[in-house]
Chain A
Amino acid sequence: SQQGEEDPQALSIQEGENATMNCSYKTSINNLQWYRQNSGRGLVHLILIRSNEREKHSGRLRVTLDTSKKSSSLLITASRAADTASYFCASLGFQKLVFGTGTRLLVSP
């Protein structure tokens, strides 16, 4: 399977804490993206990092990319209950996005 792997599979934290999710992928990529999925909803694009970038920030999100290790991480700082969702990485190879298995994040008030 081309599918990427994410860990942890599930993460439970308190509001205000930081959440870190990791993603590994299998093939060479043009870019890597992170998406959020709230329960019962479609996926929403969060952030994109290109293969020649190492780090990117967007608000409370920080993404890193290590192409030598074929891995990426997503850090959500100062988490809120509204951040409760599943988070997926998606690697773009040749014309296809390949999604990871997802991390379920629960942020308790």
Chain B
Amino acid sequence: DAGVIQSPRHEVTEMGQEVTLRCKPISGHDYLFWYRQTMMRGLELLIYFNNNVPIDDSGMPEDRFSAKMPNASFSTLKIQPSEPRDSAVYFCASSILVETQYFGPGTRLLVL
């Protein structure tokens, strides 16, 4: 298996623009997680899905953030409008149980 795939790997955008991050989980994994990593706040769970259904989105910073999982092999995290404080590395992870999670390589986002 190719592991968790994320795209793009790097994104540079201007404040106010819409940003869409994409994730393909490992086949057969029924949990999918979105994390954000910054120097100041460390690794934060934003939202997670089980069988394509959002279970806990309490970590989503505000209404500018939204996430979808239309099918078992694809998820998106959207930021609209983006702000400089959204600059971070965004990770997607998947797992069979909640326990051992497999992380993608991350998307490094810079909002100017």
A interface residues with partner B (beta carbon < 8 Å): 3, 30-31, 33, 35, 41-45, 48, 88, 92, 95-102
Contacts and interface: CB of A to CB of B under 8 A. Distances in A.
A99 B98 contact: no
A88 B106 contact: no
B101 interface: yes
Interface in B54-112: 55-56, 91, 93, 98-106
Interface of B is mostly: strand
B42 interface: yes
Contact of A48 (B4, B45, B100, B103): B100
Nearest to B59: A96
Nearest to B100: A45
B12 interface: no
A96 B55 CA distance: 11
Given A3-B42, A96-B56, A102-B42, A42 B104 contact: yes
A97 B35 CA distance: 11
